[in-house]
Chains A and B, each alone.
Chain A
């Protein structure tokens, strides 16, 4: 470490540049990870909020909740420790006072029809719970990004109904759109608008929670329904898997390439020093000692660089506007930090091999 540190202090500019590269590269990786993770989360926060074990959909829906509908009575057939009926429909809303021609003020949302006494009913962060028909609890992002307030009245596209925001909840996004929770009767009204009036109350799904966390033993009682693990349901959300895979591969390769860049830098740095290292070996300084200082130096550089990159990412995350789907994930960040450092160390060990091979005679003659 003596050699490693003294050299860094002596060649300040050179090492500052190398650390700069490490910082920028890791900043890029961390930041992209935060964005990708944030986007992925916007597909599913409303689902994760349930802490559910499984979800029951209509047999023919092919895991697409928008295509799943069945009479409300079928809920009673499902036998599990906790069940909750859920209606889902997407819609477009707009503040009543905004002009209908103003497309910018229109927002894509998803309506969740829920019952207050069931476990998927959201916690209220602000305002109060549903009392009457045509009231909604909205995702807080509508307040943060669109400036909606409590008691704002929203008009719905294609239907002559307005709803009033009586409360806000957080982490309620479904398929990148904010969720509006309403009671079942309001939901029936909104959903039916597309299909004409119906006699039956139609719901989309039954969300199931079991004590064991397993779906085994959950009895559906009818062939018209099928039950899925909640994770399977999430990965089959439209576009979700493609998104996660694309970003996953992008970030994976980025980490690899970034780590290789760092490794190559260290390797070139060692090659440049061959003659000095040869002289050291001629004096009897062991390859082990020199190797240790190469590895120590790499650790110092990457640790400092990667942690600075991480710090920058966290700061950027705080400064980003709310519209940007950025989210920190400690697990991913820790994983990437480890990976970057490990691969850089591999570059260092590669350099140590060259140190061992240096022939001191060549260095001194």
Chain B
């Protein structure tokens, strides 16, 4: 099943008089359980690509489907709702909330959903990511790698169908970076997610099923 699908998507920015084609016409899809890497030089349009899939901006032309539902044409509020339910974001600098402990980062999801904290799910997840003993610590007390693992836990906790990671390893040393990417790959398979990871580092693509290269707004399979 195609969890992510882009049909003839383009993105153009009007920068004064100049038109910047950040994303040229793109057809693209990710299957359930597929781990995709997007590499490419700075300014080539990787983040633009990812944020359009995540619904943070709308495509100039074309449609984005998430879980077979037309996503890019939903109105703002519904898009935010679907983003919350279906997409887990992992960002470069961690997207953890500084004043919440690791456990509370997960609990926040329940507070917003008005659901009960799923203790077992949380424990299983944290155990798997080897950060269960850290569950009462604040992000500032964690190392970079631990923080990224907590961010992964947060992204996986509410069981989204899609994981979008924009340079999740940028702040990590090589060993930690490999560890984090391996975890991402493993979770993608095990929980049948569709995962896209944007990265600068070609060595990290070993764990990925498909590798795409972005160059001047053109996406092509490697």
Interface, chain A (partner B; CB < 8 A): 2-3, 6-7, 9-11, 276, 279-286, 289, 360-361, 364-365
Contact = CB atoms under 8 A, between A and B. Distances in A.
A11 B99 CA distance: 8
B85 interface: yes
Which 7 A-B residue pairings sit nearest by Cβ, starting from the closest? A284-B84, A284-B83, A10-B99, A2-B111, A7-B99, A279-B95, A284-B80
Query: Looking at chain B, what size class is its interface with the partner chain?
Result: 20 to 34
A6 B97 CA distance: 11
15 contacts: A2-B107, A3-B97, A3-B100, A3-B108, A6-B104, A9-B99, A276-B98, A279-B97, A282-B56, A282-B89, A283-B89, A284-B80, A284-B83, A286-B81, A361-B57
A282 B95 contact: yes
Nearest to A277: B97
B84 A360 contact: no
B121 to A, nearest CB: 18
A285 B82 CA distance: 10
A364 B111 contact: no
Interface of B: 47, 51, 54, 56-57, 77, 80-85, 87, 89, 91, 95, 97-100, 104, 107-108, 111-112, 138, 166
Nearest to B101: A6
Nearest to B55: A284
Contacts of B89: 282-283, 364
Nearest to B83: A284
Contacts of A360: 56
A10 B138 contact: yes
Contact of A2 (B84, B87, B108): B108
A9 B51 CA distance: 33
B83 A6 contact: no
A284 B112 CA distance: 10
B98 A10 contact: yes
Given A286-B77, A364-B91, A365-B47, A280 B83 contact: no
B54 A282 contact: yes
A166 B85 CA distance: 83
A283 B57 contact: no
A360 B57 CA distance: 9
Contacts of A3: 97, 100, 108, 111
B85 A284 contact: yes
Contacts of B138: 10
A266 B112 CA distance: 23
Contacts of A10: 98-100, 138
B158 to A, nearest CB: 10
B82 A284 contact: yes
B52 to A, nearest CB: 10
Contact of B95 (A2, A6, A283, A286): A283
B87 A284 contact: yes
Nearest to A11: B99
B43 to A, nearest CB: 12
A285 B84 contact: yes
Contact of B97 (A11, A276, A289): A276
Nearest to A290: B112
Given A282-B56, A285-B112, A364-B166, 15 more contacts: A2-B111, A6-B100, A10-B98, A10-B138, A276-B98, A279-B91, A279-B97, A282-B54, A282-B95, A283-B83, A284-B82, A285-B84, A286-B80, A286-B84, A361-B56
Q: Which of A283, A361, A364 has the most CB of B within 10 A?
A: A283
B21 to A, nearest CB: 18
Contacts of B112: 285-286, 289
A364 B87 contact: no
B150 to A, nearest CB: 14
B109 to A, nearest CB: 9
Contacts of A284: 80-85, 87
Contacts of A286: 77, 80-81, 84, 112
B22 to A, nearest CB: 12
A333 to B, nearest CB: 34
Contacts of A11: 99
A9 B99 CA distance: 8
Nearest to B92: A364
A283 B87 CA distance: 8
Contacts of B99: 6-7, 9-11
Contacts of B77: 286
Contacts of B51: 361, 364
Nearest to A365: B47
A289 B138 CA distance: 22
